[in-house]
Amino acid sequence: MKIKSRLAFATGLVAAAAAVLIVLTLLVTQDLSVVVDDHRKIWEASQSVARLQAVGYDYLISGDEQALRQWRARQAELLSLLALLWQSAEADSALVERLLADAGEIEARLNAFVSDSSDLAPLSRERADRVQLHFRDLQTALAQLGRNLSELDQSNAERVLSLKQRLLMVALVGLLLTALAVGIATLWLTRTVLQPIARLTAAIDDIDIYDLEQRIGLDRDDEVGHLARAFDRLLSRLRRTNASRDHMEAEASRRAHAERELKRSNEELEQFASVASHDLQEPLRTITSFLQLFMRRYGDGLDETATEYLNFAIGGARRMKLLIDDLLTFSRVGTRAQAFESVDLNEVVAQVQADLANRLTETDAQIEVANLPRLLADRSQMAQLFSNLILNAIRYRSAAAPLIRITAKRIGPDEPVADATAAVLGPQTQGPAWVISVADNGIGIEPQYFERIFIIFQRLHTRSEYPGTGIGLAVCQRIVERHGGHIWVESEPGHGSVFSFDLPVY
């Protein structure tokens, strides 16, 4: 038998004993409640008899019609209580019938007096004699009714005592039965469940961690046996795993070494890019300066073709300087970054707008900024990120004046951050995050270029169409990834673009 079945059987045994106790207790309690309610009705009937006696005497003496009406009301009240007692299953029906007969006798005597005295003057001698006669009869009938009520009350009290004794007996027997059921269930579970589990625990404790050839060998058909066999299988798997443990540790060591080498190589590459970009600045400035000096001194003596060639050389040198500057900026994202601090993005965007005021005025660009969050970030890199995205929207504007909208939305850990049409670059942000979106009304982007635009030096247009070096969005991607997020674009040609990036909430 399974342990679950044993537990269910033991629980059912205890529950059955408890249910029997509860049912018997409820039955006795119900009878006791009826008897107690009968006692209350008997007491109310006694009070009604007392009030009936007072009103009856008042009517016999005064003959007042109001007293007669009060008498009949009290009589009806008494009959109603006696009728309820007669309906009770616990009341003595014979006594209740006698009480009903007594009440009927009292009503008959009063009606007889009313009939005999209706033609007599209230203060006549003859009426007084009849009052005295009926008064004794009424007093006798009321006394008999009171004695019968007392007898019924005594019978009811004896019934209450009997039911209390029965309730106590039921409670004691029920508790004994419940205790017996609990004891039997505990003993049975101890022998069939707890003792095998104790043997299994002792066998597991005796196993040597380095001797994986051992077996528990507990042959049972219940869960304990299944657990013992599962533990034996686990030991077998551990033995097989132990054979490859050294190899796995060596592989992990080699992988850790490779990761350290990769990190060092990346740092050296970033350092090299920074140094190379800086060292290339000086000879490039020299070339540009001497070409410009040559143009000023000897430009008048050159023909149109020579002048054009020199202008090409000067323009190429200037573009080279822009490329070197952007490459230096790209390398500094990881090498000269600042520590994270609490940054209000509203302040960052406001500062970027102030820095780009002339450019915004020249292009009639409008920027609408929603309420942005406060995050842990590198303030200067956040400014560079927004500046690049705004300049990108201005550069690739359509015929209409640029309209740029910056919004923010908080998402939970299980919500997707991009539509199926968006190119998701980098890992998904884990945990809650803010998604910042920069939308424009520019020329838009073909879907097949969504990933390409984030690659360094990749351009979708010629320099004559749209100026630039092709590094700005790559810098944006690197900044976002340094902050633990990723950046993507959603766009349709001719309908503008939406650049979005998510930043985790720390």
From residue 142, give the alpha-carbon distance in Å to each of 56, 148, 429.
10, 10, 95
Beta bridge partners of 375: 343
CA angle, corner 109, sides to 103 and 111, nearest 5? 100
347 and 358 share one domain: yes
Domain boundary among 336, 365, 387: 336
CA angle, corner 132, sides to 127 and 138, nearest 5? 115
Domain boundary among 243, 266, 300: 243
171 and 220 share one domain: no
Distance, CA of 266 to CA of 282 (rounded, Å): 25
The parent domain of residue 212 ranges over: 207-243
Q: What are phi and psi of 120, to 5 degrees?
A: -105, 150
How far from the centroid of its chain's Cα atoms is residue 430's Cα?
20
363 and 466 share one domain: yes
Is 202 part of any domain?
Answer: no
Q: 311 Cβ partners below 8 Å, 6+ apart?
A: 295
pTM here? 0.44
The secondary structure of 290-335 as a DSSP string is: HHHHHHHHHGGGS-HHHHHHHHHHHHHHHHHHHHHHHHHHHHHHHH
451 and 438 share one domain: yes
Specify the DSSP element, H or E, that contains 377: strand 374-377
Beta bridge partners of 67: none
Is 201 part of any domain?
Answer: no
Is 429 part of any domain?
Answer: yes
SS3 label, residue 438: strand
307 and 358 share one domain: no
18 and 151 share one domain: yes
372 and 454 share one domain: yes
354 and 446 share one domain: yes
Paired tokens of 194: 């707890």
426 and 483 share one domain: yes
26 and 85 share one domain: yes
CATH number of the structural domain spanning residue 470: 3.30.565.10
Please report, in tens digits, the pLDDT of each residue of the chain (506 residues total). 555 665 666 676 667 767 766 776 666 666 656 666 666 666 666 667 666 666 666 666 666 667 667 777 777 776 676 666 655 544 556 666 666 666 666 666 666 666 655 554 454 455 555 555 556 666 666 666 667 667 666 766 666 666 667 767 777 777 777 777 777 877 777 777 677 777 777 766 766 655 556 666 666 666 666 777 777 777 777 766 766 776 777 888 888 888 788 777 767 766 766 666 667 667 777 888 888 888 788 777 778 888 888 888 877 777 777 667 666 666 666 655 678 899 999 999 999 999 999 999 999 999 999 999 999 998 988 998 999 899 989 988 888 889 999 999 998 765 554 443 344 433 455 668 899 999 999 888 888 878 888 877 666 655 556 555 677 888 899 889 888 899 999 988 888 999 999 998 87
Distance, CA of 235 to CA of 213 (rounded, Å): 8
Is 200 part of any domain?
Answer: no
Domain boundary among 160, 195, 230: 195
Number of separate domains in the chain: 4
189 and 129 share one domain: yes
Q: What are phi and psi of 111, to 5 degrees?
A: -65, -35
The rounded radius of gyration (Å) of the Cα atoms in the chain is 52
327 and 238 share one domain: no
